[in-house]
Structure 1
Amino acid sequence: MEPEEDEKFVLEHIPEERQSAAQKAFRPRSFGSRLEMYRFVKDPSDLIGFEWVNKMHVAIWRDNGTLICLGGAGFEAYWDRKVDYIFEKAGVYHFEGSIYGKTDAAIAETATWFWSLQRPGEDSILKTFVFDAREDQIFDFAALQPEQLARILDSNPARRYSFTRGSWNTAQSIILASRPYPLKWKFTENSFAFEDDGTAFVDTLVNRHSSFGSVHFDSDTDSMPLSRENFTRLLKFGTFDKLKLEYLDEEMILLPFAAKVHELNYTINARDFQPEHLKSLNINTRKITMEISLTDMSDWKRIPVSFLNRFSEIGTFEKLDFIVECWDLREPIDENKANSVAEAMISVIKANRCLKHLGLNHSYFTFDWLPHLQSIFEAAGDHKCLHELIVPAYPEQEDPDFSWLKRLLSRNRSITVLDRRGDKITDGFSIDRLYALNRCYHGSAALMKEESTSLRPQLVATALQKNASEKFDHAALLLANHLDVLSEFMHGADLEDVPCAGELQSEH
């Protein structure tokens, strides 16, 4: 089956008898079958059209002697250089493939054109790989000229990037750190580095007048793509929207907490941390995902409780996800240790009055929050700002009538309780009605803020007629919040024509 003509571009099939010697030399194969070769009669203007072509497993010839293979991994190597790529959206592949060529410069030229194409209206991830090849086949990212890297980044400023296996030279590092917009970048373990240990990158980044954006270092201290000195400078002087780090050693373990970052996602190994580290620890961010990896059960109460106690002392968090994991459980968690963690979490809820989001959904392999949910719900019910609570699941065996959740929703009308999959927890009936009533409560409160006093009676009347006419609790809530409007209604009514209670009784 040949690709059909698309309004954005046209692919033309190149049969074997019309292929040049250079084209025949590639002889691309995928999953044991020969890949048909095509060329663009008209170049695409964006990435959308590639998605249906990708499903057909085709090879597209470029005039510079490179070949774009679409349709996923599994291509046989042609003993030429290549770079693999994946375009991804929210964990789902849009399409993937490889770019082959005789020279790094030719591959860089095609990659620049291809990776600069846009997909309108969507944030996406571009991941690149160089592997499954002999050493002399590995694409050298140094061939990507600074202006080419700038074009790729500038064409899709909202895209997230993950480049593996290679290194950035000084000129590329400066381009990377100096874009006039925030970037979203992931540095992977033992695969990407800076030729100068990151000096040019950090020098440029720390002198920025705006945030670098979001950066994820998917490596421990010893596998960082830059030197310890430069990494320390980056954490001390850089500014970030989001920073994700894991398993820094004892010498550097405190640095991320003091970083200038809007949101911190940090995983530590408990064996590298001492509770006394927390006594004077300042945490700049108000949004944090904290994961503690335990090597043995002796750290269970010591480290998690110490962190939670410090979080209570700080008291300025708006978003908190708290995770404790231990894959080597040689002994069960005793009840006293579990209770101490739950009590510390309840203190965090009470002390952080601006807390809007609390996530307890990831610790279910190690620590079971379910026996403590009733107490946590009680604390959340008194909270004025908390509007999202994530728990592993609902303890239906202990609370089959969902009475704990009903009480929470009746006390905190702003909150939504989700399970670890992100689904709203409900019994399918009474909980849904409570959520609907709470939406009405907020809608009524919004009407109270209506600046135009002449418009508010009309809005209240419309809400009563269309949304609350058959729901007594909704109507009562509206009228209770808008007694002045009810008074206006009564003032405008002709009460002389309304029968009194005695007359109504005499008629019956």
Structure 2
Amino acid sequence: MEFLQLIPQQQLSSEQNALLSLLTNEESSSEEGNHLPIYRFVQEPTHLQELLSCDRTKFCIWRDNQTIIVVELFYPRSINLPSTSWEITQSYRHGTRFLAIVGLNETAMAETATFVLSLQHSEPDLWSFDFDLDSVREDQLNRFLDANPQCVWEFRYQTWTVEQSIRLATRPGPLKIQLYTPSTNYGGFSFTDGGTAFVDALQQRTSSFESLCLHFNRRNSFTNENYVRLLQLEHAVEKLELYMFRPDPLLPFRAQVHCLNYRIDDYEIEKTHFETLPIVAKELTLSIHITSTENWSDSIVTFLDRVAQLGHFEHLRLAIDLWHKVDYTQVGWIAAAIVRVLKNNPNLVSLDLSENRYPLDYTPYLILLFRVMEGHPNLRTFRLNSEEMKVIHFAALKRLLFRNRKLTVVNRWDERVTDGTTIDQIYTLNRFYHGSKDLLVQHGCSTCRSRLTGTILMESATANFQRTALLLSDHADVLCELVNGSEDDALSPHDPRSIINPTPLKKKKLSPNSDVSCARRFVAPCGR
């Protein structure tokens, strides 16, 4: 379906030419001139991809309210914008998109900005914009914040007043925001009151604020007092991310949050600091920047031993950032500490060791880690850097997946680690295993399970001994029913003529939600 229609240059109105004249394209040729191609909507989109459906990487879209949407899909930017434009940046998994709203009327620009930011999209991306919150009405702000609750909204150019701080801190529903200041001493996000009203409002919430990220470089937008108050709030924030200048590097570990994402430099801490440190979060991401070259692993090992000692973690991600030559004896000490973490955190669901700067590599210790994971009761995802894996490591991975069928091993891009043959088959078998177990939970009654198990046996497991064995071991009671027949059949008199003239079975059309249709979806081949 076409959403955009090119407007020929000779058909441009004086208003369109006036706005286009405010833009210059540094990469345009002399034949093209400075004007970017401009389109109009054939029909108004509801999804972001529909707005981006043009086959060009730089273009404009005219709206009937006398505004232009400027789109540039790739970095670096080459379109020069007027100072009165509103810039919007979308950072997503595969790159960055730049959009801008150009117009002569701020009310119309607010309407167009709300329209763009409210378009549906499924990626958990980050949106940044440079216009002030006073430039949009409250209903417009609520509209685009509600449209995509999975998004993170970054404020890096605004100064929040007391009223705006209260407005955002008390807003009901899920909200993920990031407050940013650059590495320079000027510019970036700020509060007019040092964050007092924001912290006060968070303290009054009856439900947790979903996600708050503080990315402060040289300047903390909170006063020291308000920063300490923020970290001492009890369960006011669900997820807290800190990349910032701070007065106390250990204070964030004590924050009363469910999820903590924190970056710290090794020169800020001593290994003894972690020995009795209370860490409240159950989901923890720690990025450590290593500057020392001697005994650089000491603080990491002490931290991991504290994680092992506490034993309450559900998700753990450790990223080590270093540039110097690595002594692999020290990497071995870290690997041994990770083993202790696995053994002492039975509720751990995911472990992520994928984000490490070269030359740090856990590959020499993967066999050790795989062996410990074989008996872990709840581990579901192990994320690693798999680029250096050899045949011996894939052999250990096969053993792991056979012994812990609930586990999936992925790389840093969340792709399953596989040898392309046998391991794929193991994952398919493990999926069958999960589906068989799920029948007990989702279809507890024996009648439903009897129908489903019979269908699965006939359509998927008959020619596969492993699948048949898995299915029947989980549903031995159903096997007895299939062999002995139902209670009614056992009590009804036997008719010998049925052997000579059996009644033909009638095929019945299945509805998409029938038990047997569910079974067929369950036995479908597993995609990568």
TM-score bucket (shorter structure): 0.7 to 0.9
Specify the code of the residue in structure 2 equivalent to 1:19: S
Deviation at 1:83, TM superposition (A): 2.4
In structure 2, the partner of 1:380 is 373
1:204 maps to 2:201: yes
Equivalent position of 1:497 in the other structure = none
Deviation for aligned residue 1:234: 1.5
Structure-2 change in CA distance of 1:176 and 1:22 (3 Å): farther
> Aligned residue for 2:354?
361
Q: Decide whether the 8 Å contact of 2:284 with 2:315 is kept in 1.
A: yes
Which of residues 5, 11, 14 is equivalent to 1:19? 14
SS at match of 2:294: helix
* 1:28, distance to aligned residue in structure 2 (A): 2.9
Aligned twin of 2:338: 345
Partner of 1:109: 110
TM-score, with structure 2 as normaliser: 0.79
Question: C-alpha separation between the residues in 1 aligned to 2:345 and 2:364?
Answer: 23
Which of 74, 78, 81 is the matching residue for 2:78?
74
Structure-1 separation of matches of 2:383 and 2:226: 37
Q: Give the partner amino acid of 1:174.
A: I
Aligned length: 470
Deviation at 1:403, TM superposition (A): 2.3
Aligned match of 2:364: 371
* Conserved 8 A contact 2:21-2:35: no
Q: Deviations over 1:237-266 (max 9, x none)?
A: 1622322112554x4212222223222111
Inter-partner Cα distance in structure 2 for 1:487 and 1:29: 78
Q: Determine the C-alpha separation between the residues in 2 that align with 1:312 and 1:350.
A: 8
2:363–2:389 CA contact under 8 A, matched in 1: no
Matched with 2:59 is: 57
Q: Are 1:167 and 2:159 counterparts?
A: yes
In the other structure, the counterpart of 2:88 is 85
Question: Take 1:257 and 1:350, find their aligned partners in 2: how far apart are those partners?
Answer: 22
Deviations 1:254-309 (A, max 9, x none): 22222232221111111101223223322221111111111112352210000000
Partner of residue 476, structure 2: 483
Distance 1:488 1:20 in 2: 78
Q: Is the 8 A contact 1:286 1:318 kept in 2?
A: yes
- The one-letter code of the counterpart of 1:286 is K
Task: Return the alpha-carbon distance in structure 2 between the equivalents of residues 144 and 483 of structure 1.
Answer: 63
Corresponding residue number in structure 2 for 1:264: 260
For 1:180 and 1:17, locate their aligned partners in 2 and report how far apart those are by CA, in whole Å: 45
Distance 2:405 2:117 in 1: 46
Give 1:333's aligned residue. Answer: 327
- 2:214–2:244: 8 Å Cα contact kept in structure 1? no
Cα distance in 2 for partners of 1:486, 1:473 equals: 16
Aligned residue identity for 1:413: R
Q: Does 1:425 align with 2:417?
A: yes
Would the aligned equivalents of 2:236 and 2:257 in 1 still touch at CA under 8 Å?
yes
Contact kept, 8 Å, 1:311 with 1:348, in 2: the verdict is yes
User: Is there any run of 5+ residues in structure 2 with no aligned partner, and where?
Assistant: 29-33, 183-187, 495-528
The TM-score with structure 1 as length reference comes to 0.81
1:127 alignment counterpart: 128
Distance 2:5 2:463 in 1: 58
Q: Is the contact made by 2:176 and 2:212 (CA closer than 8 Å) also made in structure 1?
A: yes
Q: Tell me the distance in 1 between the aligned counterparts of 2:406 and 2:20.
A: 65
Q: Choose 68-77 or 458-467, whichever is displaced more.
A: 68-77
Aligned to 2:521: none
Say if 1:411 and 1:244 are closer, same or farther in 2 by CA, change over 3 A.
Answer: same
Residue 461 (structure 2) aligns with? 468
2:378 equivalent to 1:389: no
| Pair 1:28-2:29 in alignment | no
The letter for the 2-side match of 1:192 is F
Query: 1:16 and 1:197, CA in 2 relative to 1: closer, same or farther beyond 3 A?
Result: farther
- Could you tell me whether the CA contact under 8 Å between 1:127 and 1:162 is conserved in 2? yes
Secondary structure at the aligned position of 2:257 is classed as: strand
Q: Which residue of 2 aligns with 1:216?
A: 213
Displacement of 1:423: 1.8
- Deviation track 1:172-196 (CA, whole Å, cap 9, x = no partner) reads 2222212111211112223111122
Shift of 1:171: 2.1
Q: Bigger shift: 237-246 or 147-156?
A: 147-156
Separation in structure 1 between the aligned mates of residue 339 and residue 168 of structure 2, nearest angstrom: 43
CA deviation after TM superposition for structure 1 residue 454, in Å: 2.4
| Structure-1 separation of matches of 2:165 and 2:389 | 54
1:38-66, CA deviations, whole angstroms, 9 ceiling, x for partnerless residues?
77798766655422359461253665x65
**1:289 and 2:285 equivalent?**
yes
- AA at the equivalent of 1:165: Y
> What does residue range 132-147 of structure 1 map to in structure 2 within 5 Å?
143-144=135-136
RMSD: 3.3
Contact 2:7/2:40 (8 A) holds in 1: yes
Contact 1:390-1:419 within 8 A present in 2 as well: yes
Q: Distance in 1 between matches of 2:364 and 2:455?
A: 45
Instruction: Encode CA deviations 1:12-34: one digit per residue, 9 max, x unaligned.
Output: 77858841599379443323321
Aligned pair in 2 of structure 1 residues 364, 118: CA closer, same or farther (>3 Å)? closer
Residue deviations 1:73-95, cap 9 Å, x none? 423344x42221124544445x5
